[in-house]
């Protein structure tokens, strides 16, 4: 871009700015100018000046940027040429010192007229100032950048606090795991204690009572072969002695406790007796024991009877599975 064109574009830009200033003054000081002057509803002169100013300013910015790009390229080229010139000059000076017989004028470099660096720097500063003024609208981007950086710092802080919370949770998990292991060991130890050592089970332990700390019950199993004849639900006379001892212990030590009587059978189906099935046989045997305990003075409201047929065996031995259990509920 030549100097004449640059001065022309500068004048157009100045004219545009002047028109913009006049337009602003007219809008502020005149009550007759409509706000909708951009739609050509009123005076056309302000609109013309506004359009002219915008166009002139836009052309100015575009040309200035183009000229600045070219100018920067020229400055870089000048620096490279200057470096080459200095290098050649130094080389020639070295050669001249090594060979003094060569005339000083024969190795001189060709002189040419080049733009001075000082003038180029002045124009570069002027153009940069114009571009900075034109790009003043970049401030919002600076604010957005600062906001993003602040948000990044906040997220980094949140991430650090989350990591710390995770570490605390890991420590707490390990502590709870240790406590759970200790409690499991204590529970296993409590379950492995003998029934006679359990408070309140010592009296019935002599009759074969088994204490279950998990359920809170004392269970006294009675073999059906001891209580009944095969396929019958009538108590034998020999069984009443044992039942009397158990009833006495319950009355003296477990008064008011809930007592359950549960009948069990083996897996053999009913063939010869009159019972319909093992369900009926187990229920009738439990009722026989329950009625006898009531006769011995245990309140009926403490007692309950149930039959569980063949579905809860103890071992593979059928004789062990044929039984009646007296269960004392401690709580």
pLDDT over 70 at 277, yes or no: yes
pLDDT over 50 at 31, yes or no: no
> What are 40-83's pLDDT values in tens digits?
444 455 566 666 666 767 777 777 777 777 888 888 888 888 88
> What is the pLDDT at residue 264?
96
> What are 130-182's pLDDT values in tens digits?
655 555 555 566 777 788 888 888 888 888 888 888 889 989 999 999 889 88
- CB-based contacts of 298-302 (< 8 A; 24+ apart in sequence): 298/247, 298/250, 298/251, 298/259, 302/256, 302/257, 302/258, 302/259
% of the chain surpassing 90 pLDDT: 29
> What is the pLDDT at residue 84?
86
Tokens (6 digits) for 48 = 């013309």
Lowest mean pLDDT among 101-115, 153-167, 194-208: 101-115
Quick one: which H or E segment has residue 54?
A: helix 44-98
Mean pLDDT calculated for residue range 207-226: 90
Whole-angstrom distance, CA of residue 207 vs CA of residue 245: 8
Whole-angstrom distance, CA of residue 329 vs CA of residue 331: 6
Of residues 194 and 285, the one with the higher pLDDT is 285
> What is the pLDDT at residue 131?
59
Length of the chain: 331
Tokens (6 digits) for 37 = 């002057």
Tokens (6 digits) for 85 = 């010139």
Nearest to 64 by CA among 123, 137, 111: 123
Q: Which residue has the tokens 């300013």?
A: 57
Task: Spell out the domain ranges in the chain.
Answer: 3-107+114-140, 196-329
Q: Which string of DSSP letters, residue by residue, matches 204-224?
A: HHTTT-EEETTTTEEEEEEEH
pLDDT over 60 at 302, yes or no: yes
Whole-angstrom distance, CA of residue 320 vs CA of residue 143: 88
Tokens (6 digits) for 217 = 């019950």
Whole-angstrom distance, CA of residue 134 vs CA of residue 126: 13
> What are 240-274's pLDDT values in tens digits?
999 999 999 999 989 889 999 999 999 999 988 88
> What is the pLDDT at residue 42?
44
Sign of the Cα pseudo-torsion (248, 250, 251, 254, in order): positive
Tokens (6 digits) for 221 = 């199993």
Mean pLDDT calculated for residue range 203-227: 89
Pick the CATH number of 196-329 from 3.30.460.10, 3.10.20.600, 3.30.1330.60, 1.20.1240.10: 3.30.1330.60
> What is the pLDDT at residue 218?
92
> What is the pLDDT at residue 88?
83
Backbone angles phi, psi at 220, to 5 degrees: -110, 105
Tokens (6 digits) for 216 = 């809170």
Q: How far is CA 199 from CA 2, 49, 219, 245, 253, in A?
A: 114, 108, 14, 19, 11
Q: In what order do the strands lie in the sheet with 210-212?
A: 210-212, 217-223, 323-329, 258-264, 303-307
Tokens (6 digits) for 263 = 């009948």
> What is the pLDDT at residue 66?
78
For helices 44-98 and 3-29, angle between their N-to-C axes, nearest 10 degrees: 150
């Amino acid at each position: 871009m030549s100097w004449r064109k640059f001065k022309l574009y500068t004048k157009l830009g100045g004219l545009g700015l002047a028109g913009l200033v006049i337009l602003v003054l007219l809008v502020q000081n005149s009550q007759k100018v409509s706000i909708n002057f951009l739609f050509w509803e009123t005076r056309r002169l302000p609109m013309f000046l506004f359009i002219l100013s915008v166009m002139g300013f836009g052309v100015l910015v575009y040309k200035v940027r183009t000229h600045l790009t070219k100018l920067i390229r020229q400055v870089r080229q000048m620096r490279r040429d200057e470096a080459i010139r200095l290098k050649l000059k130094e080389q020639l000076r070295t050669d001249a010192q090594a060979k003094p017989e060569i005339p000083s004028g024969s190795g001189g470099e060709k002189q040419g007229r080049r733009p001075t660096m000082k003038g180029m720097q002045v124009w570069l500063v002027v153009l940069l100032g114009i571009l900075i003024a034109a790009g003043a609208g970049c401030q919002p981007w600076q604010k957005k950048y600062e906001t993003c950086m602040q948000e990044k710092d906040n997220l980094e802080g949140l991430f650090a606090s989350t990591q710390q919370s995770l570490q605390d949770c890991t420590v707490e998990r390990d502590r709870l795991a240790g406590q759970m292991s200790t409690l499991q060991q204590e529970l296993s130890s409590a379950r492995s204690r003998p029934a006679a050592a359990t408070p309140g089970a010592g009296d019935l332990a002599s009759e074969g009572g088994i204490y279950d700390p998990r359920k809170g019950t004392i269970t006294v199993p009675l073999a059906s072969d001891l209580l009944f004849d095969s396929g019958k639900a009538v108590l034998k006379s020999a069984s009443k002695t044992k039942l009397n001892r158990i009833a006495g212990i319950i009355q003296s030590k477990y008064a008011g406790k809930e007592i359950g009587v549960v009948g069990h059978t083996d897996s053999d189906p009913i063939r010869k007796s009159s019972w319909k099935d093992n369900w009926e046989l187990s229920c009738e045997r439990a009722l026989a024991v329950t009625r006898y305990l009531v006769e011995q003075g245990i309140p009926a409201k403490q007692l309950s009877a149930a039959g569980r047929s063949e579905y809860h065996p103890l071992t593979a031995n059928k004789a062990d599975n044929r039984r009646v259990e007296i269960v004392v509920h401690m709580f």
